[in-house]
Structure 1
Amino acid sequence: MEPMSLDPAIASRLKRNDAGLVPAVVQERSTGAVLMMAWMDDEALARTLATRRATYWSRSRRQYWVKGETSGHTQHVRQVRLDCDGDTILLVVDQTGGACHTGDHTCFDADLLLPDDTEETR
């Protein structure tokens, strides 16, 4: 894929880490559930904005990956938001299949560290 450039007005608002990355939190549109967190650089964000296909930077593979390209567990991006500090991106998506690399629907269902204090304890 040809390199894509991020709109300079958006790029100027991003606060990147030392590796040039910004965390991206992914939320499911239909349920409001937080599905996963990944990393984006300017090009990953530009690709996502242009295609509505969630595109991330894989730190371990050191390459771009489009969510679901090999697994079929796709994310159709409905909204992209930047937080007030410019240091976190929120993607609101329609998720098909599991969002987690384990195949689970969300990456945040494995370890409950602090239960809701309104729930009964057993």
Structure 2
Amino acid sequence: MSAPWLDEIRWTDDGLVPVIAQQAETGKILMFAWMNRESLALTVAEGYAVYWSRSRGKLWRKGEESGHRQKVLGLFLDCDEDVIVLKIEQEGGIACHTGRESCFYRSLIDGQWQSIEPVLKDPEAIYRKS
């Protein structure tokens, strides 16, 4: 993918950049993921978040199984040119594979990680079995 704006990003040694997905309307952080050059270029071209799955070693179109796609409303690069924030509209209101609005649903309370967000939909009902 040859695009001058892609060359301005400081990619990790393995060709990735960290990405934070933020709900545009509320500012709430919904999730963190990685992108490579191809997934970032596809995100811009398609208008929906496409990530790089390190565990699967392949492109991952957010919501391809669940239907919970992320429409990209804005894309921002930090001052060090090594982190991207996507301002998104979360389709279906669920970003996390646990069925919650956000992947950041645990808070450190009294020295323990405690869940502070409800499960909005049972993951068994969201994901098809392979």
Normalised to the residue count of structure 2, the TM-score between the two structures is: 0.79
Q: Give the superposed CA RMSD.
A: 1.4
Counterparts of 2:108 and 2:14, CA distance in 1: 30
Q: Report the structure, 1 or 2, having the larger strand content.
A: 2
Report sequence identity in percent.
47
Q: In the alignment, does 2:42 pair up with 1:43?
A: no
Partner of 1:68: 63
Count of aligned pairs between the two proteins: 109
How far apart are residue 10 of structure 1 and its match? 1.3
Give structure 2 stretches of 5+ with no counterpart. Answer: 111-130
Partner of 1:19: 14
Give structure 1 stretches of 5+ with no counterpart. Answer: 116-122
Tell me if the contact between 1:24 and 1:90 (Cα under 8 Å) persists in the aligned partners: yes
Deviating beyond 6 angstroms after TM superposition, the runs of 4 or more aligned structure 1 residues are none
How far apart are residue 37 of structure 1 and its match? 0.4
Partner of 2:26: 31
- The 1:13–1:109 alpha-carbon spacing in structure 2 relative to 1, beyond 3 Å, is same
Normalised to the residue count of structure 1, the TM-score between the two structures is: 0.84
Tell me if the contact between 1:34 and 1:106 (Cα under 8 Å) persists in the aligned partners: yes
How far apart are residue 113 of structure 1 and its match? 2.3
